[in-house]
Amino acid sequence: MLLPAAAVHAARKGPTSREGGRVTTTLTQQTPADLDAGAAYLLALVRAHGALTRAQMNVMTGWARMTVTSRLEQLLATELLTPDGPTAGARGRPATRYRLAPWRAALMVADVGALGMRLARCDLASVVEETLDRRCLISDGPDAVLAVVRDGLEQLAADLDSRPVWGVGISLPGPVEFLAGRVVSPPIMTGWDGVAVRDIVTEWFGSPVLVDNDVNAMAVGELAASYPEVSDLLVVKVGTGVGAGIISEGRVLRGAAGAAGDIGHTWADPSGIRSDVPECRCGKRGCVESYVGGWAIARDLSRELGSERTVDDVTDLLRAGESTAVRLVRDAGRILGASLATAVSLLNPSAVVLGGQIAAASGEHLLAGLRERIYARALPLATRDLPIKVSTLWPNAGVHGLARGIADTVLGTPAA
């Protein structure tokens, strides 16, 4: 099972020893929280720029040589940095480079959606080591869903041996008060309003916990893995529901109450496509999600084909190229595109990225309708060089984003 706080501290590495000619190490008591401010900054610098020599650290920090050496030795003692070999091609004695030791501890993440979740164990560099998928309805309520999360994370942690867990990240398909880690007035998450997820999970595992909206986590993952060169990105999830994650000037835009990006429950413009105003799961009528969400497409497909269909049926039919499913998704793309055109004009992102179960299964069908409306309705300056693509990171975008977020929480945000 996952180590509680006391067990984690008891297991951390200590001095190096030699047994039978084989070098072994044990975990020290020190963690990133034990670092002084200077050592923490140096760690952030290495995370941002990769392996660095002492001389490069001197230049980048402006610190005295002895100061760099003292703080570097502190990071080596905690085994957060490790030698990365000498520099190549330099005159004289090659200088040793130092980089993050990603194997020092583990990060556990759970990307929870409306119908299921992907759980993962990651290293300190946010590299996914192992994943586990579980089916679970978010509408089953917090007790049932969080029990599945806990069981899955404990299963992934079973192979850690003495390696500690230094952080846990969880994403949820609804608004989250980020600083408190609390769910706030979620449209589709019955029984979740006011649930302090961070406090619950902290009690389980005794380590820092990050809780965020699922599409915000996707946006962070896309930015880090696929669009590191941009600072403004719009990520849209089209799965069972519809939501957006907004990156503005390199940061997630969450809004005053954590509701930024909830485009699925804004008023849709279906003009020229549909005249009905369907009821949404949130209780209102005419929301974007009531036309575009996977559950809404399944509803319309059931009506047209004469038998009950699920979101999984929709994705299967899309992959098979079934004509009714394709037509419904193209129309959904146009309706979503009308709303995104306004968002593109307001936010002026460098790229629009689509993820989620429906987006991944629909190929170019969803994109065709979406591009049509965005390019026709958004400001020409905002669309002139705007790529609109399906994510190549799905279904791991949220996992990557959570791992990156909890790594920043534990190790400190990488220094620019």
Q: What is the pLDDT of residues 26-76, one digit of tens each?
A: 444 567 888 999 999 999 999 999 999 999 999 999 999 999 999 999 999
Q: What is the pLDDT of residue 29?
A: 52
Q: What are phi and psi of 129, to 5 degrees?
A: -95, -40
For the chain, where do the domains classified as CATH 3.30.420.40 start and end?
A: 104-218+398-411, 229-391
**Taking 50 as the threshold, does the pLDDT of residue 16 lie above it?**
no
Q: What is the pLDDT of residue 31?
A: 73
- Which CATH number among 1.10.10.10, 1.20.120.10, 3.40.50.720, 1.10.287.130 corresponds to the domain 31-100? 1.10.10.10
User: What does DSSP say about strands 22-27 and 176-177: parallel, antiparallel, or unpaired?
Assistant: unpaired
Asked if 3 and 165 count as a contact pair (C-beta separation under 8 A), the reply is yes
User: What is the pTM (predicted TM-score) of this model?
Assistant: 0.89
Q: CA 240, CA 264: separation in Å to the nearest integer?
A: 11
> Among residues 70, 312, 347, 106, which one has the least CA distance to residue 236?
347
Q: CA 122, CA 399: separation in Å to the nearest integer?
A: 9
pLDDT (tens digit per residue) in 74-100: 999 999 999 997 766 556 678 999 999
**Taking 90 as the threshold, does the pLDDT of residue 384 lie above it?**
yes
Q: What are phi and psi of 21, to 5 degrees?
A: 80, 0
User: 229-391, what's its fold?
Assistant: Nucleotidyltransferase; domain 5 (3.30.420)
Distances (CA, A) of 290 to 29, 240, 267, 279, 315: 53, 11, 10, 6, 17
Mean pLDDT for the stretch of residues 305-329: 96
For the chain, where do the domains classified as CATH 1.10.10.10 start and end?
A: 31-100
**Taking 90 as the threshold, does the pLDDT of residue 358 lie above it?**
yes
> Among residues 34, 46, 44, 47, which one has the least CA distance to residue 74?
34
**Taking 50 as the threshold, does the pLDDT of residue 408 lie above it?**
yes
- Which CATH number among 3.30.70.250, 1.20.120.1200, 3.40.50.1820, 3.30.420.40 corresponds to the domain 104-218+398-411? 3.30.420.40
Mean pLDDT for the stretch of residues 197-206: 91
- Residue 137 — pLDDT band, cuts 50, 70, 90? very high
